[in-house]
């Protein structure tokens, strides 16, 4: 089953949304499956539901339709809690409120159909996801003909809002993505990624930034940060008030950071092995030479955490243990449950990608961005269609959403290896199953205590999956791993500055052992015994780094050393390259 694109669905089904009567004809649409993508999906769903269940759903549906129609004829506005339809423009118009209520009724009906499907778990999840895409796309709020707020603004502005909306849409078509933020308000190096530092090393795959100390003394062991290569590194260094990099520097750490290149055709044959060996392992070597320390604290975020863990396992196979500690932020090591993103990963889809990219080529950043946007279409697609195009508004400046639109490419061979060996086959956690950079990979041989952070509402890395790393990683003799659960999602949970005092986090002081013989408590049991604390988890992490950072020494007076001289000021060139 091909998963529908939200914007394609919306365009194809605009005519149905303009006529509320069409909402009462779902089953009549099924015979048109060959010409109608929504009908084709409904036919597939209907064929996988017990006849008694379908009959009950139909009866409930028709009863609800009748009740809604009676309310409409009696002039009684329907009760709606959905925030899309709570404004006076929706509530004050009988036709608009009826249209919205009809849509919500049909949305519940379609969702109930998908939930009733008798299928294997992954197939059922794919059907539920596809139905949700259709439901979100078909909202009457998404179209001028059925959105009373947009119509009202059209009248008030004498058509100017529509002209601005069309201009916004044409501009976004030229850019290749929907504008989520005022992109003229930000510039990397001007008001984003401004923590002072110097690029002290570069190769075609990455630049290594060394940040300027902010304290007179620093921990003896430096901190190496590895962000995801799927996104730009400056998610960790947005503006000064919400920069994790700046915070780490201010806590007395000598911070080094990997700034991945944005691959172009010259890197389209780069492999996962090269990201590990010529990327992270090379960065570790340079940091060791510059700092004079054999060991360092290390951090990996999302896929950066997967890469750095792989690198440390490769080095362990070579008899090297450069990590004094490891921090993993919203990271998969066990891919047993990858959440909603698993709808995009099965043998046929991975094989298709491999046939296109495994020997060379680029996985385009725009394609990756569209995939992630489809996981939250109301927040990252339709909300902006309504505001930017239908109402002619300009999106407000928002640094995180600016970053979200600054996409990166991935080399095809690296991307295909990652898809097959982690998401599809979950081989990384199996000791010795994979060979990377000439070494059998056994994550249990990493000899370092680990600070594992997960976000409770993370839709990309479910927190229970991040928690599963406790059963894989060995903290080392006499040491202990730590697990902290933060509020919010994949990004907002991580970027939660200590100075703001927002959100909360959960801790459970039950010893969190790790490694082959460890049996951490189940994730649900861990949470049941956890204590919630208000504010940011960052101070907890700072304490962990200090614990494993060695003694305090005088801050370095210069960047790099005689061998590794500064190349250019942070943030460097690589992070400014746009995905073509």
For residue 544, give Cα distances in angstroms to 219, 302, 449: 12, 19, 10
Name the phi and psi angles at 577, rounded to 5.
-75, 130
Decide if 307 contacts 273 (C-beta within 8 A).
no
DSSP state letter for 331? -
**First-residue to last-residue Cα distance in the chain:** 30
Decide if 357 contacts 270 (C-beta within 8 A).
no
Angstrom distance (rounded) from CA 426 to CA 422:
4
> How much is the CA Rg of the chain, to the nearest whole Å?
26
What sign has the CA pseudo-torsion 85, 86, 87, 90?
A: positive
Name the phi and psi angles at 339, rounded to 5.
70, -155
Beta bridge pairs of residue 323:
296
Contacts of 446 (CB under 8 A, 6+ apart): 309, 312, 313, 316, 321, 323, 326, 473, 474
User: Could you please report the per-residue DSSP string of 270-321?
Assistant: --HHHIIIIIIIHHHHHHHHHH--S-EEEEEETHHHHHHHHHHHHHHHTT--
The tokens describing 68, both together, are 């809604």
Return the SS3 of 326: strand
Angstrom distance (rounded) from CA 18 to CA 346:
36
The tokens describing 145, both together, are 């003909």
Angstrom distance (rounded) from CA 377 to CA 103:
17
Return the SS3 of 451: strand
β-strand pairing of 482-486 with 450-455? parallel
Positions marked active-site: 302
The residue among 437, 424, 456 whose CA lies nearest residue 312 is: 437
């Amino acid at each position: 089953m091909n998963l529908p694109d939200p914007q394609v669905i919306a365009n194809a089904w605009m005519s149905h949304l303009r006529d509320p009567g069409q909402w009462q004809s779902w089953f009549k649409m099924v015979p048109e499956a060959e010409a109608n993508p929504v009908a084709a999906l409904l036919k597939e769903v209907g064929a996988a539901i017990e006849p008694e269940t379908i009959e009950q759903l139909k009866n409930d549906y028709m009863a609800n339709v009748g009740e809604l129609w009676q309310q409409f004829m009696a002039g009684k506005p329907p009760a709606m809690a959905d925030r899309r339809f709570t404004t006076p423009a929706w509530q004050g118009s009988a036709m608009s409120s009826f249209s919205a209520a009809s849509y919500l009724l049909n949305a519940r009906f379609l969702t109930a159909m998908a939930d009733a499907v008798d299928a294997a778990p992954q197939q059922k999840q794919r059907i539920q996801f596809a139905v949700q895409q259709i439901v979100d796309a078909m909202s009457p709020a998404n179209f001028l003909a059925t959105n009373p707020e947009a119509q009202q603004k059209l009248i008030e502005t004498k058509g100017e809002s529509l002209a601005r909306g069309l201009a916004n849409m044409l501009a976004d078509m030229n850019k290749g993505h929907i504008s989520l933020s005022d992109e003229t308000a930000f510039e990397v190096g001007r008001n984003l990624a401004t923590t002072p530092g110097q690029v002290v090393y570069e190769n075609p795959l990455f630049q290594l930034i060394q940040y300027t100390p902010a304290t007179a003394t620093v921990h003896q062991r430096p901190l190496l940060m590895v962000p995801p290569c799927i996104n730009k590194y400056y998610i960790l260094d947005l503006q000064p008030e919400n920069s994790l990099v700046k915070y780490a520097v201010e806590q007395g750490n000598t911070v080094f950071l990997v700034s991945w290149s944005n691959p172009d055709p010259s890197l389209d044959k780069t492999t996962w092995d090269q990201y590990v060996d010529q990327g992270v392992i090379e960065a570790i070597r340079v940091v060791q030479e510059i700092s004079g320390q054999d060991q360092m604290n290390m951090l990996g975020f999302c896929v950066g955490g997967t890469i750095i863990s792989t690198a440390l396992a490769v080095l362990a196979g070579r008899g090297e243990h450069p990590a004094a500690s490891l921090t993993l932020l919203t990271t998969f090591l066990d891919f047993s449950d990858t959440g909603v993103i698993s709808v995009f990963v099965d043998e046929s889809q991975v094989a298709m990608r491999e046939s296109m990219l495994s020997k060379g080529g680029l996985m385009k950043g725009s394609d990756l961005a569209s995939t992630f946007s489809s996981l939250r279409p109301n927040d990252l697609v339709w909300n902006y269609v309504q505001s930017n195009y239908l109402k002619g508004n300009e999106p407000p400046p928002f640094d995180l959403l600016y970053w979200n639109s600054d996409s990166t490419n991935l080399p095809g061979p690296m991307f295909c290896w990652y898809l097959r060996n982690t998401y599809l086959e979950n081989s990384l956690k199996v000791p010795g199953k994979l060979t990377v950079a000439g070494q059998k990979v056994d994550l249990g041989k990493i000899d370092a205590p680990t600070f594992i952070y997960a976000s409770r509402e993370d839709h990309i890395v479910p927190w229970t999956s991040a928690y599963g790393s406790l059963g894989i990683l060995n903290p080392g003799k006499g040491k202990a791993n730590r697990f902290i659960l933060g509020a919010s999602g994949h990004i907002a949970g991580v970027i939660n500055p200590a100075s703001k005092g927002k959100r909360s986090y959960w801790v459970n002081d039950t010893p969190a052992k790790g490694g082959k013989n460890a049996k951490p408590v189940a994730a649900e049991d861990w949470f049941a015994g956890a204590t919630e604390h208000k504010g940011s988890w960052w101070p907890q992490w700072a304490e962990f780094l200090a614990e494993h950072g060695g003694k305090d020494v005088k801050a370095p007076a210069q960047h790099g050393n005689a061998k590794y001289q500064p190349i250019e000021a942070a943030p460097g060139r690589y992070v400014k390259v746009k995905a073509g």
